[in-house]
């Protein structure tokens, strides 16, 4: 019997290798830009990059295109490829955000990120209380249960904390809020590690339970207040550092 492969994309080995090389080159160049390696020197040409890293010109060209899309470089007539100032970088791009967070640690960047969270997550929690369904409630409950298990040392508390917040963004049923999942998840890894180090423990379970209880009770106002309290505590900790 014939196998239906209409929904499955089968890539040849050369295509997979090319994609991996491109993303590897992207990661190498992106990190170099964000850490300031090209701050006082010109960005190399595609030919120079290809020769230095032993990759093809097509791989280099595609990686530079991706850097351009992320706002890290731009192509200028008679000037070639130029590194853009940090103000032009797309911090909503998870690669750029990850590279930025992994360079010299910045409390200010974490503060800015959590200020953004205040504008998003409390309202997402309120929307989740209005529009979330049974599957969303189960995901939120599971995230909380995993956080409790993390306190007992049987699961990863960091991953559980992130899963809890992601479940609420999805439960909002707002596609714009849902689009923030990757950004919030990426930055939360650094933010949670930092605040947990200050507190000497992982997340406050009762505060997170208050958010979950309010959502499940279909109380948008209480959900909004409870989530605001969690992020407000983070901002207080960062401000005291």
Q: What local confidence, expressed as pLDDT, does residue 195 receive?
A: 79
Q: How far is CA 163 from CA 97, 113, 136, in A?
A: 19, 18, 12
Give the containing element (helix H, strand E) for 81. Answer: strand 80-83
What is the tens place of the pLDDT at every residue in 34-50?
A: 989 998 889 999 999 99
Rounded Cα distance, 212 and 226, in Å? 9
Long-range contacts of 148-154 (CB under 8 A, 24+ apart): 148/205, 150/202, 151/202, 151/205
Q: What local confidence, expressed as pLDDT, does residue 75 receive?
A: 85
Contact 26, 95 (CB under 8 A): yes
Residue 173: left (phi > 0), alpha (psi -120 to 50), or beta?
left
Structural domains of the chain in order of their starting residue, each with its CATH number:
13-86 (1.10.10.10), 105-240 (1.20.120.530)
What is the tens place of the pLDDT at every residue in 170-200?
A: 999 999 998 899 998 988 888 888 877 776 6
Question: What is the pTM assigned to this prediction?
Answer: 0.79
Q: What local confidence, expressed as pLDDT, does residue 240 receive?
A: 56
Q: Which residues of the chain have a pLDDT value below 70?
A: 1-19, 104-105, 199-202, 240-241
Contacts of 225 (CB under 8 A, 6+ apart): 122, 214
Identify how many contiguous H helices and E strands the chain contains and give both numbers: 11, 2
Q: What local confidence, expressed as pLDDT, does residue 16 receive?
A: 45
Rounded Cα distance, 96 and 220, in Å? 34
Q: What local confidence, expressed as pLDDT, does residue 9 receive?
A: 45
């Amino acid at each position: 019997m014939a196998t239906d492969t209409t929904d499955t994309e089968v890539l040849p080995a050369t295509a997979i290798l090319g994609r991996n090389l491109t993303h590897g080159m992207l990661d190498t160049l992106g990190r170099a830009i964000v850490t300031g390696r090209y701050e006082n020197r010109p960005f190399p040409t595609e030919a120079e990059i290809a020769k230095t890293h032993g990759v093809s010109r097509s791989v280099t060209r595609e990686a530079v295109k991706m850097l351009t899309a992320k706002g890290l470089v731009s192509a200028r007539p008679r000037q070639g490829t130029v590194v853009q100032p940090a103000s032009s970088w797309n911090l909503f791009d998870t690669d750029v955000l990850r590279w930025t967070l992994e360079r010299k640690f910045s409390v200010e960047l974490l503060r800015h990120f959590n200020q953004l969270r205040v504008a998003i997550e409390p309202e997402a929690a309120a929307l989740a209380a209005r529009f979330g369904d049974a599957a969303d409630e189960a995901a939120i409950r599971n995230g909380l249960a995993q956080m409790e298990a993390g306190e007992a040392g049987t699961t990863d508390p960091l991953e559980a904390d992130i899963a809890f917040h992601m479940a609420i963004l999805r439960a909002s049923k707002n596609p714009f809020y849902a689009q923030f999942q990757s950004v919030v998840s990426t930055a939360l890894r650094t933010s949670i590690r930092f605040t947990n180090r200050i507190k000497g423990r992982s997340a406050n379970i009762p505060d997170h339970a208050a958010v979950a209880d309010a959502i499940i009770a279909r109380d948008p106002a209480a959900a909004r207040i409870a989530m605001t309290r969690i992020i407000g505590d983070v901002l207080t900790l960062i401000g005291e550092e």
